[in-house]
């Protein structure tokens, strides 16, 4: 049993914290919305904290899953942040998708305080969090990873140590760049099939066993055809993630022309009022023919 502080009980953090509690760990939880933390404790047990620092003070491991760079900076380095309350040698795992810049900054801050830190963004979505089948891409030292791996195992199916601090976040950017291209091309294929008045279920059966197959095809083709978008990863969050990729690309001197175009397509979906819809709602901007 490990004493774990968990910060951020949203659609990803809540289920992850549940898996940790069910694995036998002693959890103290904090959420900016206190009602959500109270509901989690009522459902699963554990201790409720009033600040990140309070949650972290007696914990061996602190895990965060928040929203943005500013949120992460606040819960780590801000007033009542976790870092100042953590004992030397303890571990911080961050599952937020944020910039590589802040991940590297936290790596430096953690080293100066004698802490271990891993930037560990996730892929697999809410379903993966609920089922404990997330894939985790990690940046940090070997010592940090040795400490973090057994903590993350109850809610993951794949854990990959990519490199030093910030490399987990940069790898997540690669994931989102590839993801954007796949979902756009899938949207075009679906609309093409509909324009040709094909049976889209038969089209899926025919093409999903070959080179065109993808997770998006297996999980979103049918729902896109049915115009169902009220689940999964929101367009607003996708645009946030792509913005992080563009920021890092500028720093690296890399170019992302197709990703930039698809980002503008997502801006169109936002203008249509679809910012909170699943990313597969990108198909809505294409005419059915």
Q: Are residues 20 and 58 in the same domain?
A: yes
Same domain, 82 and 198: no
* pLDDT band (50, 70, 90) for residue 242: very high
- State pLDDT tens for residues 116-134: 999 999 999 899 999 999 9
Instruction: Give the pLDDT band of residue 103 (cuts 50, 70, 90).
Output: very high
CATH of residue 156's domain is: 3.40.50.720
* Predicted local confidence at residue 212, as pLDDT: 97
> Over 90: is that where the pLDDT of 231 sits?
no
| Residues identified as active-site | 172
Last residue of a domain, one of 130, 148, 164: 164
The CA R_g of the chain, rounded to the nearest whole Å, is 20
* 9-35 confidence digits (pLDDT tens): 999 999 999 999 999 999 999 999 999
Q: What is the pLDDT of residue 254?
A: 98
Neighbour-count burial for 30-50, b at 16+ CB within 10 Å, e otherwise = bbbeeebbeebbeeeebebbe
Give pLDDT, residue 141. Answer: 97
Place 232 in a pLDDT band, splitting at 50, 70 and 90.
Answer: confident
Say whether both 144 and 213 belong to one domain.
no
Residues 71 and 155 in one domain: yes
Asked if 18 and 140 sit in the same domain, the reply is: yes
pTM for the model stands at 0.94
Q: What is the pLDDT of residue 85?
A: 98
Instruction: Check whether residue 202 and residue 246 sit in a common domain.
Output: yes
pLDDT value at residue 89: 97
Residue 288: pLDDT over 90: no
Residues 250 and 191 in one domain: yes
Q: What is the pLDDT of residue 289?
A: 72
3-state SS string over 126-145? HHHHHHCCEEEEEECCHHHH
What is residue 241's predicted lDDT score, i.e. its pLDDT?
Answer: 97
Same domain, 157 and 176: no
Structure tokens at 167: 């490399």
Write down the pLDDT at residue 175: 97
Residue 162: pLDDT over 80:
yes
What is the maximum span of the chain, computed from C-alpha positions, in angstroms?
64
For range 134-147, the mean pLDDT: 98
* Average pLDDT, rounded, for the chain: 97
Q: Which residue has the tokens 């070959």?
A: 210
In this predicted structure, the answer to whether residue 206 has a pLDDT above a threshold of 80 is: yes
Domain hosting residue 222, numbered range: 171-285
Per-residue confidence (pLDDT) for residue 195, from 0 to 100? 96
Closest by CA to 240, choosing from 8, 92, 72, 29, is 72
What local confidence, expressed as pLDDT, does residue 93 receive? 98
- Judge whether residue 79 has pLDDT over 80: yes
Separation CA 189–CA 192 (nearest Å) = 5
The kind and range of the H/E element at 118 are strand 116-119
Domain identity same for 274 and 211: yes
Region 202-216 average pLDDT: 97
**CATH number assigned to the domain comprising residue 220:** 1.10.1040.10
Residue written as token pair 């459902």: 43
């Amino acid at each position: 049993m490990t004493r774990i502080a968990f910060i951020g009980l949203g659609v990803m953090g809540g289920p992850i914290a549940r898996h940790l509690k069910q694995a036998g760990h002693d959890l103290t939880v904090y959420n900016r919305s206190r009602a959500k933390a109270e509901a989690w404790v009522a459902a699963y047990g554990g201790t409720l904290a009033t600040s990140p620092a309070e949650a972290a003070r007696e914990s061996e491991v602190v895990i965060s899953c928040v929203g943005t760079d500013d949120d992460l900076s606040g819960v780590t380095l801000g007033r009542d942040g976790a870092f100042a309350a953590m004992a030397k040698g303890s571990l911080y795992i961050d599952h937020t998708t944020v910039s590589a810049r802040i991940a590297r900054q936290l790596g430096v801050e953690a080293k100066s305080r004698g802490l271990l830190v891993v930037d560990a963004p996730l892929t697999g979505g809410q379903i993966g969090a609920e089922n404990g089948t997330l894939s985790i891409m990690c940046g940090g030292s070997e010592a940090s990873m040795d400490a973090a791996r057994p903590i993350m195992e109850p809610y993951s199916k794949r854990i990959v140590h990519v490199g030093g601090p910030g490399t987990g976040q940069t790898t997540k950017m690669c994931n989102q760049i590839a993801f954007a291209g796949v979902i756009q091309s899938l949207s075009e294929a679906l609309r093409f099939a509909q324009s040709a008045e094909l049976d889209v279920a038969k089209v899926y059966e025919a093409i999903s066993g070959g080179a065109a197959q993808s997770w998006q095809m297996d999980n979103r083709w049918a729902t896109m055809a049915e115009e169902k978008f009220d689940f999964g990863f929101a367009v607003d969050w996708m645009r946030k993630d792509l913005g992080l990729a563009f920021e890092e690309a500028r720093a690296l001197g890399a170019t992302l022309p197709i990703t930039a175009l698809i980002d503008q397509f997502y801006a169109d979906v936002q203008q249509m009022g679809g910012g909170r819809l699943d990313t597969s709602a990108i198909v809505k901007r294409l005419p059915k023919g």
